[in-house]
Structure 1
Amino acid sequence: MVRLLPLLIILLSLSNPVFGQTDDTRLFFSEALAAHLPKYDQNAKAAYYKRDYKKANRLFDSLIEHGLKGSYMDNFKFNNLNKKESLLYGFKKPMYLITYASWCVTSEGEIPAINQLATKYSDKIDFVILFWDDHKTTKKMAKLYNEHLKVLYVNEMNNQDSYVISKLKHSLGLPTTFLIDGNKKILDIRRGVTHPYGKSFEESFDMNYSSIFDGIANHLLESNNYNAERETVALN
């Protein structure tokens, strides 16, 4: 038995990271934020102070393109509608993650568009809506979405999830969309569609549908042989 002990230790070190060193060279989202967010915040605040919104948008795009894309999402912890813990790494498909709060005013066609796309592609993509609200409010908001979307929440008032709150909510603002592959690599980060008042429901729906579909077709679907103009869009 004594002679077998060294061999047992070697086998354990190969199969269990507790016994052996892991070579994880991935850059995580939280690390990328720490490296790039302070400079972005400083420059963006100056741009907004001068009301230079074009520059502010360019700064955001640059932060995403050169600082955050390609990093790997941390295994953040959320709550589901049953008040149970839900880990981000529990989702195995490519993910379309939208971070919201109940006070965010969505454009008229946004929710119908995401509902329709989730119905069509939920077998290939995990569509997740994350609310920064309490359970009662989130449960009410969840009624707006169909069964093909997973609705989660983090209640900031509980002050128990300061890490995920600071990284996903306070860093980039709301609403923000993350396009994440099956290995949790961030492929793109986008802000929601905005348009002037006065657009018809059909116009708003088409703008949102095209924007959301562009993201999932170019980043999350295995084949890129999709064209938003050829997509069948049935208005509810």
Structure 2
Amino acid sequence: MKRFLLLFFIIFGLNIQAQTEKSDKLFFSDALVMHLPKYNKEAKAAYRHREFEKAENLFDTLVKTKLKGTYLDNFKFLNLRGKEVALYDFKKPVYLLTYASWCIPGKGEIPALNELAEKYQDRIDFVMLFWDKRETAKELSKQFNSHIKVLYVDENTNKHSYVVENMKHSLGLPTCYLIAGNKQIMNIKRSVFHPYNISKEESFQLNYEAINSAITDNLIGNSQNNIPVQFNGISPE
């Protein structure tokens, strides 16, 4: 009887702990509902007055104080065969880059990404998400090596899609999401912007250093040490 009671209290305690941990999670989509309207209003005003540095600072502040540390929802995408793929299907930390065919990457961005995907293939899942038709995504996928998973969402057929609303229309693109194995957002960054008159070698170096730094700072160390990210994005403003 004592053993039964002990087992009961252990199971009961674990269930309470699991429920508490679940209730403590703030998901990305919920954080956007609370904080995106204010950000959009201020960012649009900054761009309208050509205050580009202020606009960038607003983005960085939104990420640092409201989105970093939240948990990305289990969004659904399609692979190039048209099969549904869920974000939670990826078990390793994820380097997720959102793009569209009309975005022009820097000369060295894709070569740098390919090289780093090969370097970290055993530790990180690299995902390129295109907001395009399947045919377009399939053609664009030829630029990437086999270590990068290319997915797509066709907005024309998914205009009211949950993933489109939360990932594309919220922060724009190209946008990079650095996601821990437990799907906690470690950081959100924008692609490297540089003058187009620099050489491909210079562009490669700039992109390689920026992407590698983002990976080592946010995914490698945190995935090994299980360092929790602190955030203060609970209360809406």
Q: Does 1:149 align with 2:148?
A: yes
| Whole-angstrom distance in 2 between the partners of 1:117 and 1:159 | 32
Cross-structure match for 1:197: 196
- Rounded Cα–Cα distance in structure 2 between residues aligned with 1:114 and 1:152: 16
Report what 1:103 is aligned to.
Answer: 102
Match of 1:3 in 2: none
Paired residue type of 1:175: P
Structure 2 counterpart of 1:187, which letter? M
Matches within 5 A, 1:110-149: 110-149=109-148
User: Unaligned stretches of 5+ in structure 1?
Assistant: 1-9, 225-236
1: CA distance, partners of 2:191 / 2:222? 24
Q: Secondary structure at the match of 1:143?
A: helix
1:176 is aligned to: 175
How many Å apart are 1:160 and its aligned residue? 6.1
Q: Supply the distance in 2 between the matched residues of 1:129 and 1:113 (Cα, whole angstroms).
A: 14
Q: Which residue does 1:38 correspond to in 2?
A: 37
Deviation at 1:197, TM superposition (A): 1.9
Question: How far apart in 1 are the matches of 2:39 and 2:126?
Answer: 29
- Partners in 2 of 1:89 and 1:65 — Cα distance? 23
Q: Distance in 1 between matches of 2:37 and 2:222?
A: 37
**In the alignment, which residue of structure 2 is the partner of 1:90?**
89
Equivalences for residues 157-168 of structure 1 within 5 A? 157-159=156-158, 162-168=161-167
Shift of 1:161: 5.6
Is the 2:101–2:132 Cα contact (8 Å) retained in structure 1?
yes
2:62 is aligned to 63
Distance 1:171 1:204 in 2: 28
Per the TM alignment, residue 223 of structure 1 is displaced from its structure 2 partner at its CA by 7.7
Equivalent pair of 2:177/2:189 in contact (CA under 8 Å): yes
Paired residue total:
210
Q: Structure 1 CA distance, aligned partners of 2:166 and 2:196?
A: 32
Give secondary structure in 1 for the equivalent of 2:73.
coil
Larger RCO (CA within 8 A; separation ≥ 6): 2
Unaligned 5+ runs, structure 2: 1-7, 224-237
Counterpart in 2 of 1:228?
Answer: none
1:188-211 per-residue CA deviation (whole Å, 9 max, x = no partner) reads: 000000101210011000000000
The aligned counterpart of 2:234 is none
C-alpha contact 2:106 2:196 (8 A) present in aligned 1: no
Look up the match of 1:214.
213
- Return the alpha-carbon distance in structure 2 between the equivalents of residues 120 and 22 of structure 1: 38
Structure 1 CA distance for aligned equivalents of residues 25 and 222 of structure 2: 25
TM-score normalised per structure 2: 0.84
Kindly tell me: are residues 164 and 83 of structure 1, through their superposed partners in 2, closer, same or farther at Cα, counting changes over 3 Å?
Answer: same
The equivalent of 2:228 in structure 1 is: none
What is the root-mean-square deviation in Å for CA atoms of aligned residues?
A: 2.1
Deviations 1:143-194 (A, max 9, x none): 0000000000001111266210010001000100000000000000000001
Aligned position for 1:73? 72
Q: TM-score, normalised by structure 1?
A: 0.85
In 1, the alpha carbon distance for the partners of 2:160 and 2:91 equals 23
**Greater share of helix:** 2
Structure 1 residue ranges, 4+ long, deviating more than 6 angstroms after superposition: none
